[in-house]
Structure 1
Amino acid sequence: MWQANETISTRSHFSAAGFGAQGGLEQALLLRVLDEVDYGVLVIDGQGRLRHANHLARHEMISARLIMNHGNTLLGVTTDFTVQIQQALEQALRGQRRLVSLRSASRELSLAFIPLSHPLETDEPSVLVLLSRQSACENLAVRMFARSQNLSPSEESVLMGLCRGLSIPDIAAEHGVVQSTVRSQIKALREKTGCPSIRLMMQRVNSLPPVVPALRIVSPMPHNAMEFAQP
Structure 2
Amino acid sequence: MALALDEMDYGVVLLDESFQVLHANHQARVALCPGMVLTLDGTALRVGTAADQRVLEEALLAAVRRGIRRLICLGDGEQRMRVSVVPLPVGGGWRSPAVMLAVERTQACAHLTVQGFARLCRLSPGEEQVLQALCLAQDPAEIARQHGVALSTVRTQITNIRTKTGTDSIRDLVHHMSMLPPLIGALRQQATRASSPQGGTN
Which residue pairs with 1:126 in the alignment? 98
Bigger Rg over Cα: 1
Match of 1:173 in 2: 145
Query: 2:80 is matched with which residue?
Result: 108
Q: Does 1:149 align with 2:121?
A: yes
Q: Which residue of structure 2 lines up, in the alignment, with residue 200 of structure 1?
A: 172
State the match for 1:210 in structure 2. 182
Q: TM-score, normalised by structure 1?
A: 0.71
Alignment gaps of 5+ in structure 1: 1-29, 220-231
Among residues 34, 49, 52, which one is paired with 1:78 in the alignment?
A: 49
Q: Whose RCO is larger (CA < 8 A, sep 6+)?
A: 1
Say what the alpha-carbon RMSD is for the aligned residues: 2.5
Given the alignment of the two structures, is residue 55 of structure 1 paired with residue 26 of structure 2, yes or no? Answer: yes
- Output the CA distance in 1 between the equivalents of 2:150 and 2:9: 35
Give 1:137 deviation, angstroms: 4.3
Counterpart Cα distance in 1 of 2:82 and 2:13 = 13
Aligned partner letter, 1:39: Y
The equivalent residue for 2:200 is none
Equivalent in 134, 146, 149 of residue 162 of structure 1: 134
- Asked if structure 2 preserves the Cα contact closer than 8 Å seen for 1:39 and 1:56, the reply is yes
Aligned-residue sequence identity (percent) comes to 38
Question: How many pairs align?
Answer: 187
Does the CA-based 8 Å contact 1:75-1:85 persist in structure 2? no
Q: Which runs of 5+ in 2 are unaligned?
A: 193-202
Equivalents in 1 of 2:105, 2:77: separation in Å?
Answer: 19
Alpha-carbon distance in 2 for matches of 1:61, 1:205: 24
State the TM-score, normalized to the length of structure 2: 0.80
TM-superposed CA distance for 1:59, in Å, is 2.1
